[in-house]
A and B are shown apart, each in its own frame.
Chain A
Amino acid sequence: METIEFVNHVDNLKPIRDFVNKVLKDFAIPDSEIYKIILATDEICANLCCHNLDTNPIKIKVNYHAGLVEVAIIDFFKPFSPKKTFHSDLYSLIQIKRKGGIGLSILNKIIDKIDYKTEFGKNICTLYKKVKIKDGE
């Protein structure tokens, strides 16, 4: 389990992506799968940054075991479960020329399972994705 902490700010989204990439590269996971996990993590963190102005820390934990990648995103903001959020229809968003609204729809299409829980003011969003490692690794 690799863990890192970042200040909640959009400028830190790139370092967060780089961290997830660096951890997962060590496990011979195909690039296309790593890309999806990075994207899913980025969408959750971007959501936190855009809805919370406080520069509280966000903690990211990445783990890989037996074909399963687990990314936990821990924050101390007002709870916001991606599981309970309305998922927008692509065509409706195009019609109203809205720029946002597809992040959580993407999440549901590229991740196998999302867990969200709040304990003593701490929110833990855990993303799970089954992956096949590259042949010969």
Chain B
Amino acid sequence: MSLIEITVIVESKDLIILKLKGDIDASSSIRLDKELEAAVLGAYNRILIDCTHLDYISSAGLGVFMSYIHELEEKKITLILFGIAEKVFEIFSILGLSEIMNIVKDKQEALNLKYIGNN
């Protein structure tokens, strides 16, 4: 059984949501990488990452997000994470990623964001 379940929801031609459930570590981060790569290639303006059921993320998972920041900026795609548990958010914060990435409380707040860049 995979540690991470990723459900892909295409909401419109501009918006895609990746719902994460479980753990992202050194063994499962490749799955996130593949899905995120497909979303970026899909030419959506906004990619939302639903972290409501994300229980754990290690540096391998954080590294996947980081590796796309530059490309997203070049392609003017906005990546927004929402629903992150406090203990998980603290790691984003300690590393300084919360200053660089768009992280909001819930889906509604994420949907209200238009293109604002990624850093």
Contacts and interface: CB of A to CB of B under 8 A. Distances in A.
A105 B63 CA distance: 12
B87 A17 contact: no
Contacts of B25: 10, 13-14, 17, 42, 46
Contacts of A50: 26
A80 to B, nearest CB: 15
Contacts, number: 93
B50 interface: no
Contact of B91 (A13, A97, A106): A106
How many residues of B sit at the interface, in one of the four size bands? 20 to 34
Interface string A47-72: 00110000000000000000000000
A90 B66 contact: yes
A106 B26 contact: no
B86 interface: yes
Interface in B48-105: 56, 58-60, 62-64, 66-71, 86-88, 90-91, 94-97, 100
Nearest to B23: A14
B55 to A, nearest CB: 10
A112 to B, nearest CB: 14
B23 A98 contact: no
A102 B56 contact: no
A110 B94 contact: yes
Interface residues of A, number: 31
Interface stretch (A31-39, A116-124, A126-134): A31-39
Contacts of A10: 25-27
Contacts of A17: 23, 25, 56
A38 B33 CA distance: 23
9 contacts: A14-B3, A35-B88, A39-B56, A90-B95, A97-B70, A97-B71, A99-B66, A102-B95, A109-B94
